[in-house]
Amino acid sequence: MRRRDLLIGLSAFAAALAGCSPVGRHRAGAAESPVSAAVPSPAPLPAATPQTHTTLPPFWGINTNIKFRRNDENYRRTVIALTRDLHMGYVREAVFQVGGRDVDEPFNWDWLDRTMADLEASGLGCVLAIRTEDCRNPDGFGPLWERNVRYRVRSAAKRYGRKILWYTPWNEPDLEPVDMTTILRAQSIVWSELKDVDDALMLESAPLSTPRGEGNMMYRLCDAGMTRYCDYLGCHSHHGIQDQSPNSLKHAWLAQQQANASSGYPIRPVVLSENGYRWTRVRYSDEHLLRACWARLNQVQVKRYGYDKGIVYSLALSRAQGGTFNLVDPDAGYTRFEPTYDAYRDAYNPDTWSISRGFNGGFEDEQTDPTRGWVVHYNPLRLTGQHQPFAEWERCRFAPTAAAHGPARGIAG
């Protein structure tokens, strides 16, 4: 490993983890409690240039779950203000509770129209999940189901068009009792209908629950030609950020490379449409501190693996694991879970080291293969009630590894 590479990697690592230890960076007057003071209701946001798919959005977005309180104007505008405070450039929302589950059911777009108007006024973009899984399926994925899917896709695409940064079809289908052929067929139907409305509209592949997918579904779908029917390859990642993880971020690339080598299928940019860590994953004296450290390390990892976009899961109202993925609690005056909230805000601030020195200090440019190179290994499951997360990071050392795995990897321990 070249000395310059080591210095670049160490510099980036230190910048990413600043604030994870008791002597690290803290905001002036920041609360020591895991939960901060309530956030007041936001004033109307000033008008701004709307995002479109032709405008490159910031790298990070966030799941806001406006759909769960779709008629609550205060919730909608508060989470939009918090999204801007976090330096996120867009949100992920869904065609949810609007009707249109079959061709005989009309749409009622009211809440989604209001959401789009507020996002546009605030300068935020939107990734829209069409939720083809909500379409009625009276004939077991037969012609009637296909007709309903096409109706739903075409209706959403014609209504919102290029206001949407990209569309996504079926959420985590690898966890559903369907086979690979059905997932691929649904993707091809959405692709053809969307592109028929406007060839410039962008589509993510149905995001799998992990970069590998349940039962190696990512490899199976890519081998079957999934990338012929998407502009982005989509997946989710929760908790796992280390290279050695069975669900490492590298699998989205390895699956595409394998399919490209065997069948010539295209390699697409990869997006993480859900990316988060729940604060009860490991029990110890300050779970929110672990989560904050994970956030700082994660934003380095996702960029280092060459992903095109990342969407944090979740700002609020996630129902997964009892709501422990959320950054704020709207039922307690929009209190923020600290220091996690500040960790996200600092890590994704475009005015800090991430832009001034090149993201990650530029070290990711040294190795162009996203499946290799400078990768930090960190396994949170090693922590126990007697270990603080900052100590785990302080023990991080850098050592050369076999050439097959790139020039260096940080190893915790």
Helices 73-85, 110-122: inter-axial angle, 10-degree rounding: 30
Q: How far apart are the first and last CA of the chain?
A: 20
Tokens representing residue 137 in the block: 């399926």
Domains within the chain, CATH numbers bracketed: 34-372 (3.20.20.80)
Q: What is the pLDDT of residue 350?
A: 52
Phi and psi at 324, nearest 5°, equal: -80, 0
Q: What is the pLDDT of residue 8?
A: 36
Q: What is the pLDDT of residue 288?
A: 74
Distance, in Å, from the CA atom of 75 to the CA atom of 45, rounded to the nearest integer, reads 14
- Residues 225, 261 contacting (CB under 8 angstroms): no
Sequence-separated (6 or more) residues with CB below 8 Å from residue 137: 144, 145, 148
Q: What is the pLDDT of residue 189?
A: 98
Burial pattern 119-132, b for ≥16 Cβ within 10 A else e, equals bbbbbbbbbbbbbb
- The amino acid sitting at 405 is H
Q: What is the pLDDT of residue 407?
A: 29
Weakly modelled stretches of the chain, pLDDT under 70: 1-57, 240-244, 279-287, 293, 300, 347-413
Beta strands 397-399; 409-411: pairing state: antiparallel
What are the tens digits of pLDDT across the range 272-327?
A: 999 988 765 445 556 677 777 677 777 767 877 888 899 999 999 998 888 889 99
Q: What is the pLDDT of residue 244?
A: 63
What are the CA-CA distances from residue 46 to residues 75, 112, 116 (Å)? Answer: 18, 20, 15
Q: Which helix (H) or strand (E) holds 62?
A: strand 60-63
Q: What is the pLDDT of residue 114?
A: 98
Q: Is the peptide bond before 314 cis (omega within 30 degrees of 0)?
A: yes
Residue (of 215, 212, 217, 216) closest to 240 by Cα position: 212
pTM (2 d.p.): 0.79
Alpha-carbon dihedral sign for residues 356, 357, 358, 359: negative
What are the tens digits of pLDDT across the range 154-168?
A: 999 999 999 999 999
Sequence-separated (6 or more) residues with CB below 8 Å from residue 413: 382, 392, 395
Q: What is the pLDDT of residue 219?
A: 98
Distance, in Å, from the CA atom of 391 to the CA atom of 233, rounded to the nearest integer, reads 36
DSSP alpha helix (H) spans, 59-179 = 73-85, 110-122, 143-160
Distance, in Å, from the CA atom of 323 to the CA atom of 318, rounded to the nearest integer, reads 5
